Structure 1
Amino acid sequence: MTLPIVRLAEEQRLSGATVANGFVFLAGQVADDDSLDAEGQTADILAQIDALLAEAGVDKRSLLQIQIVLADIADAALMNKAWDAWLDPAHKPARMTIQAPLVNPKWKVEITGVALAKA
């Protein structure tokens, strides 16, 4: 038996998100405007996540887990400023933040995660 998989925001090498078996899996999201600082890039990414979740029929309250990659851990305070402004404090997902090199040296933040899909 093959379970249905819905692919959202498909690009050449990936889908922005996939919906399967009751979950929404977000690809690593990066800022459309890589000239922004870490706070601006984070806000840009979170808006993209909002749009992908809306396309999947849910919102940020459905997020179960988030992984944040910072090119420079010194940007954590700026990233957290945008995160805190966006976060619904009554529906905080589990979260991990690490430092690692990103593919484009202008990217300061990349965010991925998993949400519960609409039943």
Structure 2
Amino acid sequence: MTIKRIEPGKRMSEAVIHGNTVYLAGQVATNFDAGITEQVQQVLAAIDDVLAKAGTNKSNVLSMQVILNNIADFAAMNAVYDAWIDPANPPARATIEARLADPRLKVEMIAVAALPN
């Protein structure tokens, strides 16, 4: 089975396709100083972009890991996330609180998706 890497770099790829599955790297906001709502919007837009490059979309997301630097942002994150997901195809999801690479980052998301047949 072949492996395809999307936007490979020295340390990581934005996504890796193996078989019919796409594994996305953790996505973070481009504006580290934005509030939680804007950061979640930016992260989900980045996920949409990487999924499109892989040939799939949010309807095919199998699982999502959400990492918040402050679990108090859970409701605000969900308000944006709930408007983004395909309600007919919600992925399995876990949300945790953890320190992120930069203290200004409020959220990071990691997705795994299927390629359409």
Per the shorter chain, which TM-score range?
over 0.9
Aligned-pair CA distance for 1:49: 0.5
Q: CA-to-partner distance for each residue in 1:47-100, whole Å, 9 max, x for gaps?
A: 010011111111000000000000000011111111011111111000000001
Q: Which structure 2 segments of 5+ residues have no match?
A: none
TM-score scaled by length of structure 2? 0.95
Aligned residues between the structures: 117
**1:105 paired residue number:** 103
Equivalent position SS for 1:24: strand
Partners of 1:50 and 1:81 in 2: how far apart?
Answer: 17
Q: Which amino acid aligns with 1:111?
A: M
Question: Identity over the aligned pairs, expressed in percent?
Answer: 43
Deviating above 3 A after TM superposition, structure 1's stretches of 4 or more consecutive aligned residues are none
**2:18 paired residue number:** 20
TM-score scaled by length of structure 1? 0.93
**2:76 paired residue number:** 78
* Superposed counterparts of 1:1-119, under 5 Å: 3-119=1-117
Equivalent position SS for 1:83: helix
Partners of 1:12 and 1:82 in 2: how far apart?
Answer: 32
Equivalent position SS for 1:65: strand
Q: CA-to-partner distance for each residue in 1:11-45, whole Å, 9 max, x for gaps?
A: 33111111112100011111111111111111101
